């Protein structure tokens, strides 16, 4: 069975749906591989300018597949090369919007945090419950959560395995927008569609600089920003956009 479904509902936007409803979309090795293949292929697909990733109403994803992991040794975990699966998502320069309904736990919460924007339904729940299983997050949970919501709230979640509601996550800065549950995917698609209408090279540079800059000293990050900003003055879309502004017309971008 296909564990990740690709839908193209509107121009330039790809929608990826995790499809293991019977296991609360737990991230089995097969699913992670399929996700990686989709991201690698969408990364170099010029017809895709933004990606929405979602699960179903009950779960965005309940984390790594515990049944598949229960008997695994450290060597088997290493041999999986799972970091390559995650890298395909984190290195994708197309904006990624996580549309979260239900549980986003463990690897599911980490997957949501691979998004650049997180739209959550009112009933969504976020958490890193790995500690309860005698393990710990392995796909950025200790780092991305701490950077997103700060040490003290993150530590409480990481060390107790407690969950956070969508409203709490929004207040803490983990979620971009909270909407009624049945509007989550449409709200995420609407944001994706707005991004897809922007000049793609500018979008890609903004994503690259915003993310890379977070891990650099401010001076280096500002230098990176300045260089990228100047570079965009060489694009056809900059000429199209500025001319359209002056002539009071709607621009159509070329992606060059
Ligand atoms: C495998 C899972 C699963 C998971 C749910 N299921 N989560 N299977 N891996 N992570 C399966 C259940 O076994 C069950 O299968 C079916 O999905 C429905 O689950 P229920 O528990 O009956 O549903 P519900 O009562 O709605 O509770 C949902 C839930 C709960 C709160 C999400 O299932 C749960 O707590 N899941 C585990 C969450 C978790 O601990 N995640 C972190 C995983 S570790 P059957 O066959 O019984 O119907 C991780 C990082 C690993 O992500 C890092 C390694 C380096």
Q: Is residue 109 part of a domain?
A: yes
Cα separation, 160 vs 148, whole angstroms = 18
| Shared-domain flag, residues 92 and 125 | yes
Sign of CA dihedral 85, 132, 123, 67: positive
pLDDT of residue 1: 83
Q: Let me know if 30 is a catalytic residue.
A: no
Q: With respect to residue 219, please indicate whether it lies within any of the assigned structural domains.
A: yes
Residue 233 in any domain: the answer is yes
Are residues 207 and 101 part of one domain?
A: no
Q: How confident is the model at residue 108 (pLDDT cuts 50, 70, 90)?
A: very high
Looking at per-residue pLDDT, the higher value among 9 and 24 belongs to 24
107 is catalytic: yes
State whether 154 and 207 are in the same domain: no
- 218 and 112 in a common domain: no
3-state SS class at 138: coil
Q: How far is it, in rounded angstroms, from Cα 116 to Cα 108?
A: 15
In the chain, the number of structural domains is 2
Residue 256 in domain: no
Q: What is the pLDDT of residues 213-224, one digit of tens each?
A: 999 999 999 999
Residues 68 and 156 placed together within one structural domain of the fold = yes
Q: Are residues 55 and 123 in the same domain?
A: yes
Question: Is 106 close to ligand 1, i.e. is its CB under 6 Å away?
Answer: yes
| pLDDT per residue as tens digits for the range 130-171 | 999 999 999 999 999 999 999 999 999 999 999 999 999 999
Residues 243 and 186 occupy one common structural domain: no
Residue 54 and residue 34 share a domain: yes
Cα 192 from Cα 201, distance rounded (Å): 15
Question: What is the residue range of 240's domain?
Answer: 200-247
How many percent of the chain have pLDDT more than 90? 99
The mean predicted confidence, pLDDT, of the chain is 97
Active site residue 169: no
Provide the CATH number for the domain around residue 242: 1.10.12.10
Residues 109 and 216 reside in one and the same domain: no
Q: Determine which residue's CA is closest to atom 41 belonging to ligand 1.
A: 63
61: in domain: yes
- Over residues 39-50, the mean pLDDT reads 97
Are residues 46 and 164 part of one domain? yes
Percent of the chain with pLDDT over 70: 100
89 found inside a domain: yes
Q: How far is the CA of 24 from the centre of ligand 1 (A)?
A: 6
- Cβ of residue 174 lying under 6 Å from some atom of ligand 1: no
Residue 171, domain member (yes or no): yes
Question: Does 141 sit in the ligand 1 pocket, CB within 6 Å?
Answer: no
Quick one: which atom of ligand 1 is closest to the CA of 107? 52
CATH number at residue 150: 3.90.226.10
On whether both 242 and 165 belong to a single domain, the answer is no
Q: Are residues 238 and 115 in the same domain?
A: no
Q: Give the predicted TM-score (pTM) of the model.
A: 0.97
β-sheet with 103-105: strand ranges across: 59-61, 103-105, 125-127, 163-165
**At CA 139, angle to CA 201 and CA 87, rounded to 5?**
35
């Amino acid at each position: 069975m296909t564990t990740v479904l690709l839908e193209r509902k509107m121009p330039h936007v790809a929608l990826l749906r995790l499809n293991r409803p019977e296991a609360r979309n737990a991230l089995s090795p097969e699913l992670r591989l399929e996700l990686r293949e989709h991201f690698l292929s969408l990364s170099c697909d010029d017809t895709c300018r933004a990606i929405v990733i979602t699960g179903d109403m009950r779960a965005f994803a309940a984390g790594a597949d515990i049944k598949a992991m229960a008997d695994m040794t450290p060597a088997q975990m290493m041999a999986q090369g799972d970091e390559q699966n995650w890298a395909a998502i984190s290195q994708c320069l197309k904006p990624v919007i996580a549309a979260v309904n239900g549980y986003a736990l463990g690897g599911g919460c980490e997957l949501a945090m691979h998004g650049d924007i997180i739209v959550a339904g009112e009933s969504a729940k976020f958490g890193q419950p790995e500690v309860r299983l005698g393990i710990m997050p392995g796909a950025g949970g200790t780092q991305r959560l701490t950077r997103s919501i700060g040490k003290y709230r993150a530590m409480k979640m990481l060390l107790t395995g407690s969950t956070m509601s969508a409203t709490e996550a929004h207040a803490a800065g983990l979620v971009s927008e909270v909407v009624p549950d049945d509007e989550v995917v449409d709200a995420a698609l609407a944001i994706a569609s707005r991004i897809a209408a922007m000049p793609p090279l500018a979008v890609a540079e903004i994503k690259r600089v915003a993310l890379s800059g977070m891990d650099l000293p401010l001076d280096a990050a500002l230098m990176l920003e300045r260089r990228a900003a100047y570079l965009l003055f060489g694009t056809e879309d900059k000429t199209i956009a500025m001319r359209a502004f002056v002539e009071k017309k709607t621009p159509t971008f070329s992606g060059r």
